[in-house]
Structure formats: C-alpha cells, structure tokens
A = this chain, B = another copy of it.
C-alpha cells in the first residue's frame, strides 16, 4: 500500500474547502487537514452585503458547511481558530497556534496549499480605529456592521471606495434607511473596472436612488465623538456619518509565503504557474492570494473572485493527488448589482486595451433586452472594445436595468475563444420574445463596429457632443425623435434642431448639407439610420451620437429622465 499522503491546506474560505473536498474524492486515503484562523469556514463571503441589507435573513444561510460536517462528509480534519505562524519548507512542516488554547505545535505536510485569501487595505488614516469605521470581509464584520446600523443616531453613512464591495454596500446601507455618501479617490465609480461611459451611467443611477457621490476626493481623517466616528474629513469637505464602510480594495495575504521564501508577484500575490504551483513544487496556492493570467494579454492580473477561487481549488486538488490539471487563466469578468442596475465587464477596458498596444475601435449601443411589446422589457447599454487589426473582441462592458449579465457571459465566452466581431455579428443566440430581441444588442454592437471600420458610418460619443456644446461650437445637433418625445425630454443647447426621422427625407433641404451635423435620438438607432440617410443625400459631415440620450447623462437634459 502506498504511503498515506499528508495534505495540509491553509485557509478555509472558498479555495481551501474546494481543494479539500475534491482532494478527498480523488484520494480516499490521504490525511487532509485544513486550517482556518477564524471560527467559521466555507461561508459565502460574497453574500455578506445581502445579509447586511436583510435580503438574506440570517447569516446561517451563508454558511455552506461547518467543520463537523466537513469531517463527516469529506473526512477532512478542520482546525478552526488556528493561526499558521510559519511554513518550514526544509522540514515540510508548518508551525501553528491554537488561538483558543494558546498552544503552539507543528504539522507535517507532503503537499501544502496556501489559500489565505486577501485582506482589506487599511491605511494609517487618523481615526480609522474609531468605532463605526469598519471593513467587510468576514461574517463577524457583517454582524458588527448590522449593530452599527441599528445604533446609528445620524442615520448617515459614508462608504470609502467605490469598488465592487463599496457599491454593493451603498445599496445595502440605503436599503437599511441610511443616507449614504460615497467617497472615492479616483474620478469614477468602479474605477479600474468600468470605462467612463458605463461608469457614468451607473453613477447617475446610484445618485437617482438617493446616495451622494464624492468622486476625486480623498479621506484624510475620521473625527470621533465619544470614541465613535461622527465625521469623515476629505481633502475637500467634511461629511457627517456614524457608520463608515472602508472598502478601498484588498491585498493578497502572502506574508507566510513571503517569509518562507516563496516567489511573490507584482501585486504582492503568491506567484504560481499554470498548475497553481508556487516556486516550491510541493506548495500550491489559489484563491484571492494569487494573481491570474489574463487569457487576452498573457500577463498576470489581480482580480480576486470567489468564482476563480473555486476553480483554483478544483485544479489544485488534482495536482496534489497525482494529477496534472492546468488553470488557463481569466478574462477579468466582474459583475455587480446596484439598486435596479445590472453592471458587468469582461476583458480589457478601452484604456487598458490602448495601454496593451492594441489599435482600438469601440461601439456603444443602447437597446432593449427583449421586445418593447413584451412586458418587462428593459434597457441595456453595451460597450464593445475591439482590436481594429484582427477584429478580435478585446473587452465588453454593460449596465442598465435590463439583462446585462447574460451578455457579459456571452462576451466572456467570445473573448476566451478569441472570437471576432464578424462571428459575434452572426452568433446564433437564443431568440424568443420572453428572452431577447430578434437581433441581440450584442449583434447590433458588433455591426456598429463593423460599420465604423468599413467607414459606413461616423459617430461621436455623448461626452464629445457635450464638449462641443460647452465649447459653443458651430454645428447642427439634429434631434430626430418625435415632437412628442422632444416635448417630454429635451436637450438645452442652441445647436439643437428638431426634425423627426419620418420627415427627414422630405424636409432635409431645410438643413445645410455642408454644416457639421450631429444626429441624436433616444437610444441611437434612429440617429444612426438618419445619419445614413443624410450621408446618402450628400451631407458632407454627418455623425450620430452613440447611445444618444440614454447615454447622455444629466448634463443639459431637461424634462423626464430617459432611463
């Protein structure tokens, strides 16, 4: 009989338990030990904002499996409240401390898995230790935040950081009746995740739900009252709040690995190869403490996600039990629900694509997620980022009240496969009125890119159009919506000229063929069609506004909101 293999796993979040459970299925005889520095293991950390908002009623619902069940079902020894102090690679052992008993001892391993996750970045800002300032990572954090909310006297909260957790917490705190202000040092929400157009739409939505955004502001100090936070002081103003969620990002927990002399990556991540093996062949690492290879660029990126952590666990389990599986990397997919908007992204953003050396062409389309005649039809706004040379899809982003995430998943699949927009334009997506329009918004977006590449159409972003207005430029901003629509919602700018699309052919003589003409409508489709009509009639400089009023934001838009 083969020697019983000793597998030791540090970390009981997502990657650790996945590794342990599958390792047991693949190797019935191994001795498997999993260590966790807190009481709970294997809980759904991603669900914590929904527990705070009371969408999830009990934190028990978030617990996937406890230590006893893990022993019973998978025969894994789970040591909770046990801290790992040191990895001794020379003796193949780890030094641990039982936090309850204060006892120190060692555990031998044949194969070691580091799945220590990531921790919130907490800079030494004055007052950050005040009661009421909290990060969100673990179940006890959520329980403590719920107490803070209940005790809040001012009913005012500040979320520091408009990343994924930050914006989820805006929804959660607002749902609990707090007036929320978000302070973000960068100039947009979900910076590094969304391009400006999509981010701006989300920002408008967040604002419309009563939260206040303070973008481009840095927190410099927290002020307290009776040792509880009372004010957040930024480089620009003072904000009242007795609940503060600090969520400016996370960093890989790689201290143990570093001290053991393992190679560390540029993100402070534990460096691993495609087999999730560290620089020590007997030590593997996965989950939020590692970076992932981008399938697009081949470079490492730090995108900590529970989904990747689970896949890592699956791969590592094979590789520590005699198998050889490869983790192919990621395409940087992320999604988040904030109030009524579904937002997602995948691949490279426009700036990232330019930085990676691609010649980029983009398209932004606003469309319905199912036919307008079908109840529940809602808007989705999709931006596609494409390599001009090869037509390969590099990235995609979307937001809106409609079904955005289905489109993100399709794009994630396209990008993984190296698909071009030409293939996407004819992709055989499922169509029936309850689910889709006969041509999906992705088809329209791919076709717009193709039309732009072929020089069949010229377009302008709403931001560029706004800038022209602000500059007082001399051009015609042609509104081709109906009179009824423009009576309800209109652009306040001297360049605006209304000529509804059905009258365009008959009345275009009223327009100057040689004037710069920028066409808009509600979503952009009629504007696109009309720009073709004008171009065909000999207008020399005609463009349409991509996404038109839907993507315009609030600047200069009067009357009824369009989204």
Interface of A with B (CB < 8 Å)?
14, 21, 24-29, 44, 46-47, 50, 55-56, 61-62, 69, 72-75, 164, 295, 305-311, 314-315, 327-328, 330-337, 342, 344, 346, 371-375, 403, 405-406, 408-410, 412-414, 416-419, 423, 425-436, 438-439, 443, 447, 456, 501-506, 529, 532-533, 535-537
> 5 extra interchain contacts, Cβ-Cβ under 8 A, other than A27-B536, A328-B423?
A29-B536, A74-B529, A311-B443, A333-B428, A412-B430
CB distance from A504 to the nearest CB of B (A): 8
Q: List 15 A-B contacts (CB under 8 A).
A: A21-B529, A25-B456, A47-B374, A50-B373, A55-B374, A56-B373, A307-B428, A307-B438, A311-B443, A335-B435, A406-B406, A406-B409, A413-B413, A416-B419, A417-B418
Task: Determine if A536 and B430 form an interchain contact, defined as CB atoms under 8 angstroms apart.
Answer: no
Say yes or no: A431 contacts B44, CB within 8 Å: no
Q: Which residues of B contact A307 (CB under 8 A)?
A: 428-429, 431, 436, 438-439
Partner of A428, one of B56, B61, B69, B412: B412
Contact (A431, B373) CB under 8 Å given A406-B405, A413-B410: no
Residues A430 and B46 in contact, CB atoms below 8 Å apart: no
Given A328-B423, A412-B427, A430-B346, residue A309 in contact with residue B438 (CB < 8 A): yes
The listed residue (B164, B418, B439, B505) touching A310 by CB distance below 8 A is B439
Query: Is the CB–CB distance between A327 and B44 below 8 Å?
Result: no
Q: Is the CB of A25 within 8 A of B536?
A: yes
Q: A61-B373, A419-B413, A443-B311 are in contact. Are A431 and B537 (CB under 8 A)?
A: no
Bound CA span A120–B456, Å? 39
Please, how many angstroms separate the alpha-carbon atoms of A25 and B450 in the complex? 14
Q: Quick check: B374 and A50 within 8 Å, CB to CB?
A: yes
Choose one: B47, B309, B332, B506; the contact of A371 (CB below 8 Å): B47
CB within 8 Å for A47 and B311 given contacts A335-B435, A409-B429? no
Given contacts A333-B430, A428-B307, contact A14 B438 (CB under 8 A): yes
Residues of B contacting A305 with CB < 8 Å?
A: 431
Q: Are A438 and B306 in contact (CB under 8 A)?
A: yes
* Contact (Cβ within 8 A) A427 B413: yes
What is the CA–CA distance of A371 and B61 in the complex, to the nearest angstrom? 10
Q: How far is the CA of A456 from the CA of B23 in the complex (A)?
A: 12
Inside 8 A of A335's CB, which chain B residues have their CB? Answer: 430-432, 435
Contact B25–A430 (Cβ < 8 Å)? no
Q: Give Cα A504 to B28, complex, Å.
A: 14
Q: Which residues of B contact A306 (CB under 8 A)?
A: 431, 438
Find chain B residues with CB under 8 A from A406 CB: 403, 405-406, 409
Q: Which residues of B contact A328 (CB under 8 A)?
A: 423, 426
Residues of B within 8 A of A330 (CB): 428
